[in-house]
Amino acid sequence: MLRATHLGPSMLVCFITFVLTTQVLGFLAAVEVTAAIFCGQCFIGWSNELLDLESDRSAKRTRKPLVNGALDPKTLRNLLPISLALAIIISLLSPLHVKGTMMHVGGLVSATLYNLWLKRTWLSFIPYMVSFALLPMAIYSAASTNSPVWLLIAFVTVAVAFHFLNVLKDIDEDRRQGIFGLPQRVGRRTSQFIAFLLLVFAIADIVFLR
């Protein structure tokens, strides 16, 4: 089940959440907020696995637990509403409270729209921008302040760069299956170049605007 959350990216998001929340709100708050974010990551990852099951089977992505039979699709279907409910409830009980929870839910909606539709369009980068901008905004809202502009820029640019890089390994198969997000449309070399520029911009942003 952990592998089906897209474990690497999920753990990275949780780690970033924990570190940032510790700096802004303290250790105990970071544990609560990270737990809420983790449940949200489970919902997004599991729903993505279910939606992509047939295309993953067609592409013979046997490393995925639903494809290789290590996990039953029915199990994930049953866990989806539980993970979403926990994400919202833990958010509300955490220092995020109502305002931060609304931002968290906004990020989940954005990511779900990516899974359902936007990843097949040239707007595929938008959910990355929205969801990763809302993350620091939610954390800082719990401290009754606004997220620094440099931090928002860093989150957004790195997230979009990751989108371009993450697609590269499957770009040819995606095109064959009719998935034409922005990286698939511009191609492998252009995606690498865009990602490089975004990462350079993010570093410059952190160095000069922080």
pLDDT in tens, 99-149: 999 999 999 999 999 999 999 999 999 999 999 999 999 999 999 999 999
Q: Is 199 helix (H, G, I), strand (E, B) or coil?
A: helix
Q: Looking at the predicted structure, is the pLDDT value of residue 204 above 90?
A: yes
Integer CA distances (angstroms), 81 to 9, 45, 135, 136, in order: 21, 13, 21, 25
Model confidence at 94, pLDDT cuts 50, 70, 90, reads: very high
Is the pTM higher than 0.85? The answer reads yes
Closest CA to 155 of 9, 36, 16: 16
φ and ψ at residue 124, rounded to 5 degrees: -60, -25
pLDDT value for 210: 85
Q: Give CA–CA dist 149/87, Å, rounded.
A: 26
Integer CA distances (angstroms), 120 to 20, 53, 136, in order: 32, 16, 27
- pLDDT, averaged across the chain: 96
Q: Looking at the predicted structure, is the pLDDT value of residue 59 above 90?
A: no
- Mean pLDDT of the 174-198 span: 96
**DSSP H helical segments within the chain, as ranges?**
7-25, 27-51, 53-58, 73-93, 97-116, 126-142, 149-167, 171-176, 182-186, 188-209
